[in-house]
C-alpha cells in the first residue's frame, strides 16, 4: 500500500518503459514514518443482537443491533441473549445474531487499505438455538475467512482476527450457513489499521531472499504473544490488540523471565518502530537464558507455535529489546526459525544505534512446507564460539500471521466461488515462479480477449453517437488521468476483463483470488513505469486524420485534445503537447508527474503515451456512456432514465473522485474548480469518473488569476458565492458546486434556466427554498416518483445537498462528509427497496418505519464514542 513495492510477479505484457518518465520513480518510494497513535478512518464495531450499544473497558463503543441493521442485507432478525451470562466475560458475549440463510454485511470504506476484521463467536447456552451446532462459512468478496466453521463448546469465546487489504469502497462480509444449519455472530469489528503495520516485503526463510507482494494476501492473526509477561488487554494497546501470555515455550530448559518498567523502553527516533507495532509493555518483558548472575550453559530456548493448514505461508514477526544487558555489545545470539538460521549473530546494540532497551522487530516469511510437525519452531541460542562474557539470548514478543493460500482462502483449499485449488496449494516457494508464469499467460490471453471484445463493441457504435453525446464538452480532458502508475493499464479494458471473465461473484476476477484487484495493481506497479499502451506517432497521426482541426474536441492547458479513432474502431481522446512551445519537455514531465499522483477509480484515466519525434502525447480513456447530464435531461427516448439507486451510486463515485483530489492526491490537496454534471463521465458500467480537473493546488494564499478565470468559464450556476466575495478558491468551492450537482441529479434540470420566474432561475436557490418548505416533491424528477425513492433516503440526500450549499465555506461539509451521507442515503434506499420487494402491501408503513429508524440512528449514533470517526458529518452545523 505504501507505494514502495518494486517486485512481484512479472508477465511479458504492457510494459514499455519511457525514459522521460523515470523521474517518477523517485516519487513512488517516499515512505513516511508511522506516528505513535492512530485514529482509524473506518471503525465499525457492532454488538450483534444487543438491544443497546455497549461500551467496553477499552473505551470502544459497539453499536446495538438496531444501529447495525442498515449494514445488513437480510430481512430476518433473530436475536439471542445468553440465558446465563458470564460476568467475567466481555458484554459482547451476552448477545448474538442468528442467520438462517446467507446474509451479507456491507460496510462503506472511507479509506482503502489495511483493515482489521475481528469476528467474535461465543456459543452461549440458549433455549431456542444450540449455537455450538452451527456450521457455516464466512467470506469477503475476495477471501474465504472461515469454511464450515463451528464453535464447538461453550467454554470460552473464539476470536478470529484478520488483516485485510480492502481495495474497494464497499467491504462485504458474507455469512453462509452450511446446508440446513445456521450461522451466528456475537460481534464484529471492521476497523482501519495503519498501512505501515504490514510491510510489502519481508525476508523469506527458506529462499534466502525477499518475499514481496505481501499486500496481496489476506492475513489471519494466529498468535500474538507477550513473551515473559502477562496479558496485555486491548485497552493497553493503541490498536486494540490483545497480547497473550506465552503458552508455546517448550520445556524443559531453564528459562528466566525478565521484566523492566515499561517506561524505560525506548522507540527509535527514525520511527521504524512505534507503539503501533507493539506497545512498550511487550518490549518490557522477555524470556532469557540466564540472568546476569548465573553463568550460562549452551542450549536453545524453543517455542513451538501451532500453525496448521497446508498450503499457507506465514508472516512471523519477532520483537526484541535488550532489557538484560548492563552494557552495550555484550549480547549476541542466533535466531532459528523451523531449524533454519534466520538471524545469525543478532547484535541488538548495533541495530538500535547503540542504545539499550530500544525496541526492534524483524519480519520473516515462513513457507508452510518447512513447518516442524505442523508447528512454527522458534529457537534462540548464543553462538558457540565467540563468547567473551555471559552467553545469553532473549525474545520479547512473537506474532504469527497466516497468509491466504492460492485459493484466496485462510481456511481450506476452496476459493470464494467454491472452486478447488487443493492440488496447487502447497506453499509459495516452489510454485511461485510457475504461478507467475501462468498468471502472465492468463493476462496475455485475457488482454487479447479484451481487445477483441472492444473491437466488436466499438464497431457497433452508430455514427450519430458523437452528436448525441456532445463531445466538445466531455471528451475534453484537460488535465486528467494517471501515467506511470499501477493499475492504469486501461481502466476500460480492466472493466471488460472483469466482465468477460467467467465468475460468479462480484469482484472475483478468476485468476487466483489472491491476485485479484489489488494484486493486479501491484502487478502493474511491478512493471515499473510501464505504459498501458505505447502509441506510435504514425498511429496517432492516422487516428486523428493527421491532427485535423476538425477532430479537435478541446483545448487544454498543455495542448489540443483530438478525437482519435484507431484502425480497429477504438476511440480515444488524444492530447498533443505543442512541440514548438517553450513549455516543452519540462512541462510535459511536470504534467505526467502530476498525473501520476492522481490515480483513482473515479478519475478519468490515462491509457497511453507517445514520445516519439519529440512529440509529447497523452491518450486518455474513452467513457462510453458520456456525461451524467445527458442521462438527466433533456429527456431522450434513447436513454433510459436513471433510477434513484443509480443516481446515488453515480454521486458517490463522483464524490469519491473529488474526495481523493482534495485529500488523497497531493500534500495540499487539489481543487477541481469546475464540478458540474458535464464533467462527471460514465463508463460502460455507469461508474462515474471526474474529468477535466484542474492542476491548481490548494495553496494557502492567492491563486493564479488567469488559471481561475479559465476554469470557471461556462459554469455559471455552480459557482461558490463565497468565491465571488473573497476571490479565494478552496476545496469548499468544489463542495458548493457538488451540492448543485446533487440537486441537479435529484431534479433533473439545469443549474440555471433564465426563462423561468425569478425565484426558480437558479437551481441552488430554488431547491433550498423548496426543501425548507418541505416541498421537495414539487421539484424532484417525475421519473423518480415512478421508479421509486425512499423518503428517508431523499431526506438524507436533500439535507446533505443543502449543507453543501451553505453560504460560508466553513459551514459546508467536507467531501468525505458528503460521501458518508450519500452512502447512508444509498443504504436507506437499498433497505427500502428490499422491504418493498418483500411486502408490497406494507410499503406505506415501512416508509414511516425507515424514516423513524433513520431519525433514531441519527440520535443514537450521536451518543456513541466511535461515531466521531464514522460520521463526522452528523455533528457539523448542528
Ligand X SMILES: *[C@@H]1O[C@H](CO)[C@@H](O)[C@H](O)[C@H]1NC(C)=O
For residues 229 and 231, give the distance between their C-alpha atoms in angstroms, rounded to a whole number: 7
What SS3 state is found at 372? strand
**Nearer Cβ to ligand X (275/512):** 275
Among the listed ranges 60-68, 297-305, 725-733, 780-788, the one in contact with ligand X (CB under 6 A) is: 297-305
CB-based contact 142:505 (threshold 8 Å): no
Of the candidate residues 90, 274, 381, 390, the single one contacting ligand X (CB under 6 A): 381
In the complex with ligand X, the residue whose CB is nearer, 57 or 756, is 57
Distance in angstroms (rounded) separating the CA atoms of residues 122 and 104: 20
Among 300, 349, 406, 526, binds ligand X (CB under 6 A): 300
Q: What gap in Å lies between CA 480 and CA 618, rounded to an integer?
A: 10
Choose the stretch contacting ligand X; rule: CB under 6 A; options: 206-214, 298-306, 671-679, 809-817: 298-306
Q: Does 290 participate in binding ligand X (rule CB under 6 A)?
A: no
User: CA-to-CA distance for 217 and 213, rounded, in angstroms?
Assistant: 8
Q: For the CB of residue 234, give the shortest distance to ligand X in the complex, in Å.
A: 10
Q: Least distance (Å) from ligand X to the CB of residue 74?
A: 39
Burial of 36 (0-12, 13-18, 19+ CB in 10 A): exposed
Phi-psi region of 636 (alpha: psi -120 to 50; beta: other; left: phi over 0): beta
Cα separation of 783 and 780, whole Å?
A: 8
Query: Which one of the spans 138-146, 229-237, 267-275, 483-491 is the region binding ligand X (CB under 6 A)?
Result: 229-237
Contact between 298 and ligand X per CB under 6 A: yes
272 binds ligand X per the rule CB under 6 A: no
For the record, the C-alpha cell of 159 comes out as: 476470536
Q: State which residue, 280 or 631, has the beta carbon closest to ligand X.
A: 280
Q: Phi, psi at residue 840, to the nearest 5°?
A: -60, -40
Q: How far is Cα 282 from Cα 179, in angstroms, rounded to an integer?
A: 44
Asked if 173 and 107 count as a contact pair (C-beta separation under 8 A), the reply is yes
Nearest to 621 by CA among 470, 443, 494: 494
Count of residues that interact with ligand X, criterion CB under 6 A: 11
Considering the complex, state which of residue 283 and residue 588 has its C-beta at the smaller distance from ligand X: 283
Grid cell of 55 as nine digits: 461500551
Determine if 234 is a binding residue for ligand X (CB under 6 A).
Answer: no
Considering beta carbons, is residue 299 or 501 the nearer one to ligand X? 299
**If DSSP codes are grouped into helix, strand and coil, which group holds residue 165?**
strand
Cβ–Cβ under 8 Å, residues 183 and 119: no
8 Å CB contact between 573 and 622:
yes
- Closer residue to ligand X in complex, CB, 185/394: 394
- The three three-digit cell numbers of residue 359, written as one number: 525496541
For 196, 299, 508, the CA distances from 115, given in Å and listed in that order, are 12, 40, 19
Beta carbons within 10 angstroms of residue 151's beta carbon: 21
What ranges make up the beta strands (E) of 66-169? 78-81, 95-99, 103-108, 113-121, 136-139, 144-149, 158-166
Report, in Å, the least distance between residue 341 CB and ligand X: 7
By beta-carbon proximity to ligand X, the closer residue of 33 and 230 is 230
Q: How far apart are the first and last CA of the chain?
A: 36
Q: CA-to-CA distance for 851 and 834, rounded, in angstroms? A: 15
299 near ligand X, judged by CB under 6 A = yes
Among 167, 674, 683, 866, the active-site one is: 674
* E strand spans, 475-529: none
Least spacing, CB of residue 246 vs ligand X, in Å? 14
Q: Which of 399, 621 has the CB closer to ligand X?
A: 399
Establish whether 575 is an annotated binding residue: yes
Binding-site member from 59, 230, 245, 353 for ligand X (CB under 6 A): 230
Q: Judged by CB, which is closer to ligand X: 381, or 678?
A: 381
User: Going residue by residue from 323 to 352, which x/- string records binding to ligand X, judged by CB under 6 A?
Assistant: -------------x--x-------------
Residue in 281, 352, 490, 518 binding ligand X, rule: CB under 6 A: 281
Smaller CB separation from ligand X, 173 or 394: 394
C-alpha cell at 54: 455497549
Candidate ranges 15-23, 40-48, 296-304, 603-611; the one touching ligand X (CB under 6 A): 296-304
734 as an active site residue: the answer is no
Give every CB contact of residue 452 below 8 A, 6+ residues apart in sequence.
Answer: none
Cell of 95: 448477545
User: By CB under 6 A, is residue 232 in contact with ligand X?
Assistant: yes
Q: Looking at beta carbons only, is 192 or 281 nearer to ligand X?
A: 281
Stretch that binds ligand X, among 294-302, 319-327, 830-838, 844-852 (CB under 6 A): 294-302
| DSSP string over 235-290 | GGSTT---BEEP--BPTTS--EEEE--GGG-B--TTSSS-TTTS-HHHHTEEEES-
Nearer to ligand X, 219 or 394 (CB): 394
Residues found in the chain? 878
Q: What percentage of the chain's residues is helix, strand, coil (to nearest 5)?
A: 30, 25, 45
**Ramachandran quadrant class, 14 (left: phi over 0; alpha: psi -120 to 50; beta: rest):** left
State the cell numbers at 600. Answer: 483513482
The three cell numbers locating residue 230: 502477562
Smallest distance, ligand X to C-beta of residue 748, A: 58
Interface mask (CB under 6 A) for ligand X, residues 235-264, using x and -? -x----------------------------
Measure the CA–CA gap between 365 and 337, rounded to whole angstroms.
Answer: 10
**What 3-state DSSP class applies to 171?**
strand
**Residues facing residue 420 across a β-bridge:** 414
**CB 390 → ligand X: shortest distance, Å?**
15
Of 118-126, 180-188, 293-301, 849-857: span binding ligand X (CB under 6 A): 293-301
Biggest CA–CA distance in the chain, Å, is 97
- 635-664 residues near ligand X, rule: CB under 6 A: none
Alpha helices by DSSP H, listed for 318-376, are: 348-351
- Binding-site residue positions for ATP: 575
Which residues bind to ligand X, rule: CB under 6 A? 230, 232, 236, 281, 298-300, 336, 339, 379, 381
Catalytic (active-site) positions: 674
Sequence ranges of the binding site: 575
Amino acid at each position: 500500500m505504501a507505494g514502495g513495492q518494486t517486485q512481484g510477479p512479472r508477465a511479458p505484457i504492457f510494459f514499455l518503459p519511457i525514459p522521460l518518465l523515470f523521474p517518477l520513480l523517485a516519487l513512488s518510494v517516499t515512505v513516511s514514518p508511522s506516528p505513535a497513535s492512530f485514529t482509524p478512518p473506518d471503525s465499525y464495531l457492532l454488538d450483534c443482537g444487543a438491544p443497546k450499544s455497549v461500551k467496553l473497558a477499552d473505551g470502544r463503543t459497539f453499536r446495538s443491533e438496531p444501529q447495525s441493521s442498515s449494514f445488513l442485507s437480510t430481512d430476518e432478525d433473530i436475536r439471542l441473549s445468553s440465558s446465563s451470562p458470564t460476568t467475567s466475560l466481555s458484554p459482547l458475549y451476552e448477545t448474538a445474531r442468528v442467520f438462517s440463510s446467507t446474509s451479507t454485511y456491507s460496510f462503506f470504506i472511507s479509506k482503502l487499505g489495511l483493515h482489521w476484521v475481528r469476528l467474535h463467536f461465543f456459543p452461549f447456552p440458549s433455549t431456542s438455538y444450540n449455537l455450538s451446532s452451527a456450521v457455516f462459512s464466512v467470506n469477503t468478496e475476495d477471501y474465504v475467512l472461515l469454511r464450515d466453521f463451528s464453535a464447538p463448546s461453550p467454554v470460552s469465546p473464539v476470536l478470529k482476527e484478520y488483516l485485510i487489504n480492502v481495495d474497494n469502497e464497499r467491504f462485504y462480509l458474507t455469512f453462509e450457513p452450511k446446508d440446513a444449519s445456521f450461522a451466528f455472530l456475537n460481534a464484529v469489528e471492521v476497523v482501519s489499521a495503519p498501512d505501515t503495520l504490514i510491510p510489502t516485503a519481508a525476508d523469506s526463510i527458506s529462499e534466502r531472499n525477499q518475499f514481496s507482494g505481501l499486500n496481496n494476501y489476506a492475513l489471519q492473526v494466529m498468535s500474538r504473544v507477550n513473551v515473559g509477561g502477562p496479558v496485555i488487554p486491548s485497552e493497553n494497546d493503541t490498536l486494540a490488540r490483545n497480547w497473550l501470555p506465552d503458552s508455546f515455550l517448550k520445556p524443559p530448559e531453564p528459562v528466566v523471565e525478565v521484566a523492566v518498567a515499561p517506561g524505560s523502553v525506548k522507540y527509535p527516533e527514525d520511527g521504524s518502530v512505534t507503539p503501533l507495532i507493539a506497545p512498550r509493555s511487550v518490549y518490557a518483558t522477555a524470556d532469557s537464558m540466564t540472568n546476569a548472575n548465573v553463568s550460562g550453559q549452551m542450549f536453545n530456548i524453543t517455542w513451538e507455535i501451532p500453525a496448521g493448514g497446508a498450503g499457507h505461508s506465514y508472516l512471523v514477526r519477532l520483537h526484541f529489546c535488550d532489557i538484560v544487558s548492563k552494557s552495550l555489545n555484550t549480547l549476541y545470539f542466533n535466531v532459528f526459525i523451523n531449524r533454519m538460521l534466520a538471524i545469525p549473530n543478532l547484535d541488538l546494540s548495533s541495530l538500535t544505534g547503540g542504545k539499550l532497551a530500544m525496541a526492534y522487530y524483524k519480519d520473516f516469511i515462513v513457507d508452510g512446507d518447512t513447518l516442524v510437525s505442523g508447528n512454527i519452531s522458534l529457537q534462540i541460542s548464543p553462538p558457540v564460539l565467540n563468547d567473551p562474557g555471559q552467553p545469553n539470548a532473549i525474545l520479547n514478543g512473537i506474532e504469527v500471521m497466516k497468509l491466504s493460500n492460492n485459493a484466496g482462502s485462510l481456511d481450506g483449499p476452496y476459493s470464494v466461488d467454491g472452486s478447488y485449488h487443493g492440488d496447487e496449494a502447497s506453499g509459495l516457494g516452489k510454485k511461485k515462479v510457475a504461478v507467475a508464469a501462468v498468471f502472465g499467460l492468463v493476462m496475455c490471453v485475457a488482454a487479447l480477449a479484451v481487445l477483441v471484445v472492444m473491437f466488436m463493441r466499438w464497431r457497433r457504435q452508430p455514427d450519430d453517437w458523437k452528436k448525441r453525446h456532445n463531445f466538445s464538452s466531455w471528451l475534453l480532458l484537460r488535465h486528467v488521468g494517471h501515467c506511470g502508475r499501477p493499475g492504469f493499464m486501461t481502466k476500460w479494458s480492466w472493466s471488460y476483463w472483469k466482465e468477460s471473465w467467467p465468475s460468479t461473484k462480484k469482484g472475483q476476477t478468476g485468476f487466483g483470488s489472491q491476485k485479484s484487484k489489488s494484486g493486479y495493481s501491484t502487478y502493474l506497479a511491478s512493471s515499473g513505469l510501464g505504459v498501458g499502451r505505447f502509441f506510435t506517432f504514425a498511429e496517432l497521426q492516422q487516428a486523428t486524420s493527421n491532427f485535423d482541426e476538425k477532430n479537435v474536441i478541446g483545448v487544454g492547458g498543455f495542448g489540443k485534445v483530438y478525437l482519435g479513432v484507431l484502425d480497429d474502431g477504438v476511440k480515444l481522446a488524444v492530447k498533443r503537447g505543442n512541440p514548438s512551445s517553450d513549455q516543452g519537455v519540462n512541462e510535459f514531465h511536470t504534467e505526467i508527474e502530476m498525473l501520476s499522483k492522481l490515480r483513482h477509480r473515479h478519475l478519468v484515466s490515462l491509457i497511453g503515451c507517445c514520445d516519439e519525434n519529440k512529440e509529447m502525447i497523452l491518450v486518455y480513456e474513452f467513457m462510453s456512456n458520456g456525461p451524467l447530464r445527458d442521462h438527466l435531461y433533456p429527456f431522450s427516448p434513447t436513454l433510459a432514465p436513471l433510477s434513484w439507486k443509480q443516481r446515488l451510486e453515480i454521486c458517490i463515485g463522483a464524490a469519491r473522485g473529488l474526495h481523493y483530489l482534495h485529500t488523497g492526491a497531493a500534500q495540499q490537496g487539489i481543487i477541481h474548480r469546475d464540478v458540474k454534471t458535464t464533467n462527471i463521465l460514465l463508463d460502460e458500467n455507469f461508474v462515474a469518473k471526474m474529468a477535466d480537473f484542474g492542476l491548481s493546488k490548494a495553496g494557502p494564499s492567492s491563486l493564479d488569476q488567469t488559471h481561475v478565470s479559465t476554469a470557471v468559464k461556462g459554469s455559471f450556476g455552480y459557482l461558490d458565492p463565497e468565491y465571488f466575495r473573497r476571490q479565494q478558491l478552496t476545496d469548499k468551492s468544489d463542495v458548493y458546486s457538488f451540492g448543485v450537482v446533487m440537486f441537479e441529479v435529484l431534479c433533473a434540470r439545469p443549474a440555471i434556466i433564465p426563462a423561468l420566474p425569478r425565484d426558480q432561475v437558479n437551481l441552488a436557490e430554488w431547491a433550498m427554498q423548496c426543501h425548507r418548505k418541505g416541498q421537495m416533491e414539487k421539484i424532484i424528477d417525475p421519473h423518480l416518483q415512478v421508479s421509486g425513492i425512499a423518503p428517508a433516503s431523499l431526506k438524507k440526500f436533500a439535507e446533505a445537498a443543502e449543507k453543501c450549499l451553505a453560504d460560508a465555506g466553513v459551514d459546508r461539509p467536507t467531501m468525505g462528509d458528503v460521501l458518508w451521507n450519500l452512502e447512508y442515503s444509498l443504504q436507506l434506499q437499498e433497505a427500502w427497496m428490499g422491504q418493498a420487494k418483500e411486502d408490497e402491501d406494507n410499503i406505506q408503513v415501512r416508509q414511516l418505519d425507515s424514516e423513524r429508524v433513520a431519525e433514531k440512528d441519527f440520535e443514537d449514533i450521536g451518543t456513541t464514542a466511535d461515531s466521531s470517526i464514522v460520521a463526522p458529518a452528523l455533528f457539523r452545523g448542528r
